[in-house]
């Protein structure tokens, strides 16, 4: 009997740890040379339990990395105009080097308008149109954190993207769309799929690289994975379940990210690294 093959796991936890270690060293260097520590301001509208948990986790990671964390808590009833005023004030505050707007902010808030109130040089979460344009045209700027983490994973595992067919399942403004642009910049041929895509399985079966980023548990079936393909599962659903049928996909893929421990840790690592980079630019600290 032929033994069942098993894909190599892409260890996001270990890679994220190395990225954070590097950011920690740089943050300490900035503080030593300028007397100022990098500062990330997080704006939280309301008290959504999941958002509160995420913010608490991010603040703890900042503290360990030597990054100051300023929490700006706003009432759930905060209007779009009030939120924009808060973000504009933070953008104009020289003591703040990076800004993170925790979302969702509530159905009554125009999140796109709020995101656009963040100064591009402080958009360390990569959510503004300016940042998306920079990703699309390969210009200097900050990448969306989850797509940026995905690209770092692919690089760390020596995944050759030039000429490969990448299928991105999901088209959100901060995950699906930007990761497609970043893959395109590496000379991959990119196909975007979404809720209205006809015969999704057929497209997935053609993919050398699959990025699942739609937020639907086990949407991508293992039987549809091309043998040897790279599978990036950026989904996180209740019960630690991703967007890919992990067990069956692992028997066909060449590389695959686990959930948890794959893409998730990379998102926060990129956020911290970009906050430190933003501080270095604003404080005019050259790398030693």
Closest CA to 188 of 222, 146, 223, 230: 230
What does the block give as tokens for 198? Answer: 């006809």
- C-alpha angle 26/97/55, rounded to 5°? 90
Write down the catalytic residue from 58, 164, 177, 226. 58
How wide is the angle at C-alpha 45 spanned by C-alphas 40 and 48, nearest 5°? 110
CB atoms near residue 250 (< 10 Å): 21
The reply to whether 125 belongs to the active site is yes
Half-sphere exposure of 4 (CA within 13 A, CB side): 8
Residue 187 a catalytic site member:
no
The active-site residue out of 26, 68, 102, 164 is 102
Which of 192, 139, 183, 147 lies closest to 163 in space, CA to CA?
A: 183
CB-based contacts of 211, cutoff 8 Å, min separation 6:
150, 166, 167, 168, 169, 170, 176, 179, 183, 232, 234
Is residue 11 flagged as an active site residue?
no
Q: Which of 125, 208, 224, 233 is catalytic?
A: 125
The rounded radius of gyration (Å) of the Cα atoms in the chain is 19
**Three-state secondary-structure class, residue 36:** coil
Q: Give the H or E element holding residue 211.
A: strand 209-212
Q: Which residues are catalytic?
A: 58, 102, 125
């Amino acid at each position: 009997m032929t033994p069942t093959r098993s894909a190599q796991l892409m260890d996001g936890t270990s890679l994220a740890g190395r990225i954070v270690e590097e950011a920690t060293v740089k943050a300490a260097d900035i503080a030593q040379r300028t007397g100022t520590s990098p500062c990330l301001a997080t704006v939280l509208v309301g008290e959504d339990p999941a958002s509160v948990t995420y913010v608490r986790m991010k603040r703890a990671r900042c503290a360990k990395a030597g990054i100051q964390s300023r929490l700006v808590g706003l009432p759930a009833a905060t209007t779009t105009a009030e939120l924009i005023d808060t973000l504009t004030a933070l953008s104009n505050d020289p003591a703040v080097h990076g800004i993170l707007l925790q979302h969702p902010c509530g159905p009554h808030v125009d999140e796109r308008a709020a995101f656009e109130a963040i100064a591009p040089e402080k958009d360390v979460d990569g959510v503004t149109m300016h940042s998306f344009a920079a990703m699309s045209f390969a210009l200097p700027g900050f990448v969306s954190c989850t797509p940026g983490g995905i690209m770092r994973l692919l690089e760390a595992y020596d995944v050759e993207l030039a000429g490969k067919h990448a299928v991105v399942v999901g088209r959100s403004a901060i995950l699906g769309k930007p990761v497609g642009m970043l893959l395109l910049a590496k000379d991959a041929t990119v196909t975007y799929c979404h809720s209205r895509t006809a015969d999704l399985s057929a497209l997935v079966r053609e993919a050398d690289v699959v990025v699942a980023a739609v937020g639907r548990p086990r949407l991508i079936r293992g039987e549809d994975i091309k043998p040897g393909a790279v599978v990036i599962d950026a989904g996180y659903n209740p019960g630690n379940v991703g967007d890919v049928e992990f067990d069956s996909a692992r028997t066909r893929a060449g590389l695959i990210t686990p959930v948890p421990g794959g893409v998730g840790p990379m998102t926060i690592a990129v956020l911290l690294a970009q906050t430190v980079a933003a501080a270095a630019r604003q404080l005019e600290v050259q790398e030693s």
